[in-house]
Amino acid sequence: MAEFALDLNDDQKAVREWIHGFAADVMRPAAAEWDEREETPWPVIQEAAKIGLYSLDFYAQQYFDPTGLSIPMVMEELFWGDAGIGLSIVGTALAAVGVLANGTEEQIGTWIPQMYGDANDVKVAAFCSSEPDAGSDVSAMRTRAVYDEAKDEWVLNGTKTWATNGGIANVHVVVAVVDPELGSKGHASFVIPPNTPGLSQGQKFKKHGIRASHTAEVVLEDVRVPGHCLLGGKDKLDERLARARERAKKGGERSEMGVPPAGGRGSVKNAAMATFEASRPAVGAQAVGIARAAYEVALDYARTRVQFGRPIIDNQGVAFQLADMRTRIDAARLLVWRASWMAAAGKPFEGAEGSMSKLFAGETAKSVTAQAMQILGGNGFTREYPVERMHRDAAIYTIFEGTSEIQRLVIARTISGVHVR
For residues 60 and 52, the answer to whether their CB atoms sit within 8 Å is no
Sorted by sequence, the CB contacts under 8 Å of residue 109 that are 6+ apart come out as: none
What is the average pLDDT value for the chain, to the nearest integer?
92
Q: How wide is the angle at C-alpha 73 spanned by C-alphas 72 and 77, nearest 5°?
A: 115
Which of 270, 232, 240, 239 has the alpha carbon at shortest distance from 254? 270
Q: 53 and 166: one domain? A: no
Weakest mean pLDDT among 48-52, 179-183, 331-335: 179-183
153 catalytic? Reply is no
For residues 131 and 160, the answer to whether their CB atoms sit within 8 Å is yes
Q: 287 and 365: one domain? A: yes
Q: Tell me if 3 is assigned to some domain.
A: no
**What local confidence, expressed as pLDDT, does residue 164 receive?**
97
How far are the Cα atoms of 158, 175, 214, 286 from residue 205, in angstroms, in the given order? 18, 21, 8, 21
Q: 131 and 224: one domain? A: yes
Query: pLDDT tens digit string along 252-308?
Result: 544 444 444 333 333 445 555 555 566 799 999 999 999 999 999 999 999 999 999
Question: Among the three residues 123, 139, 162, which one is the final residue of a domain in this structure?
Answer: 123
Residue 39: count of CB within 10 angstroms of its CB: 15
* Domain count of the fold of the chain: 3
Exposure string of 341-375, with b = 16+ CB inside 10 Å and e = fewer, is bbbbeeeebeebbbbbbbbbbbbbbbbbbbbbbeb
**What local confidence, expressed as pLDDT, does residue 270 receive?**
55
- pLDDT level of residue 249 (50, 70, 90 thresholds): confident
Q: 132 and 111: one domain? A: no
Q: In sequence order, what DSSP letters do the residues of 314-378 get, joined into one string? A: GSHHHHHHHHHHHHHHHHHHHHHHHHHHHHHTT---TT-HHHHHHHHHHHHHHHHHHHHHHHHGG
Q: Tell me if 250 is assigned to some domain.
A: no
- Here the CATH number for the domain that contains residue 323 is 1.20.140.10
- Here the CATH number for the domain that contains residue 168 is 2.40.110.10
Residue numbers of the domain that contains 372: 271-416
**What local confidence, expressed as pLDDT, does residue 326 receive?**
98
Which of 289, 220, 255 has the alpha carbon at shortest distance from 77? 289
Q: How far apart are CA 11 and CA 31, in angstroms?
A: 28
Q: Tell me if 49 is assigned to some domain.
A: yes
Q: How far apart are CA 219 and CA 367, in angstroms?
A: 36
Q: Tell me if 378 is assigned to some domain.
A: yes
Q: Is 63 helix (H, G, I), strand (E, B) or coil?
A: helix
| pLDDT (mean) for 179-201 | 95
Q: 299 and 396: one domain? A: yes
Question: Among the three residues 95, 123, 151, which one is the final residue of a domain in this structure?
Answer: 123
pLDDT at 371 over 90: yes
Q: How far apart are CA 242 and CA 179, in angstroms?
A: 11
Q: In sequence order, what DSSP letters do the residues of 102-133 get, joined into one string? A: H--HHHHHHHHHHHHEETTEE--EEEE--BTT
Q: 208 and 228: one domain? A: yes
Q: 406 and 294: one domain? A: yes
Q: How far apart are CA 192 and CA 158, in angstroms?
A: 13
Q: 402 and 366: one domain? A: yes
pLDDT at 401 over 90: no
Q: 119 and 233: one domain? A: no
Q: 284 and 392: one domain? A: yes
Q: Tell me if 254 is assigned to some domain.
A: no
Question: Among the three residues 123, 153, 171, which one is the final residue of a domain in this structure?
Answer: 123
Q: Tell me if 257 is assigned to some domain.
A: no
Q: Is 199 helix (H, G, I), strand (E, B) or coil?
A: strand
Which of 268, 270, 242 has the alpha carbon at shortest distance from 253? 268
First vs last Cα of the chain: how many Å apart?
37
Which of 115, 148, 142, 146 has the alpha carbon at shortest distance from 129? 142
Q: How far apart are CA 138 and CA 130, in angstroms?
A: 7
Q: Active site residue: 33, 39, 401, 405, which one?
A: 401
Q: 53 and 75: one domain? A: yes
Q: In sequence order, what DSSP letters do the residues of 32-43 get, joined into one string? A: HHHHHHTS--HH
Query: pLDDT tens digit string along 66-83?
Result: 999 999 999 999 999 999
Q: How far apart are CA 174 and CA 258, in angstroms?
A: 16
Query: pLDDT tens digit string along 145-174?
Result: 999 999 999 999 999 999 999 999 999 999
pLDDT above 90 as % of the chain:
83
- Here the CATH number for the domain that contains residue 71 is 1.10.540.10
Q: 197 and 231: one domain? A: yes
Q: Tell me if 52 is assigned to some domain.
A: yes
Q: Tell me if 253 is assigned to some domain.
A: no
Please, which contacts does 344-353 make with residues 24 or more away whose CB atoms are closer than 8 Å?
A: 344/2, 344/65, 344/66, 344/67, 344/68, 345/1, 345/2, 345/4, 345/66, 345/68, 346/1, 348/265, 349/277, 349/414, 350/414, 351/411, 351/414, 351/415, 352/407, 352/410, 352/411, 352/413, 352/414, 352/415
Exposure string of 57-66, with b = 16+ CB inside 10 Å and e = fewer, is ebbeebbebe
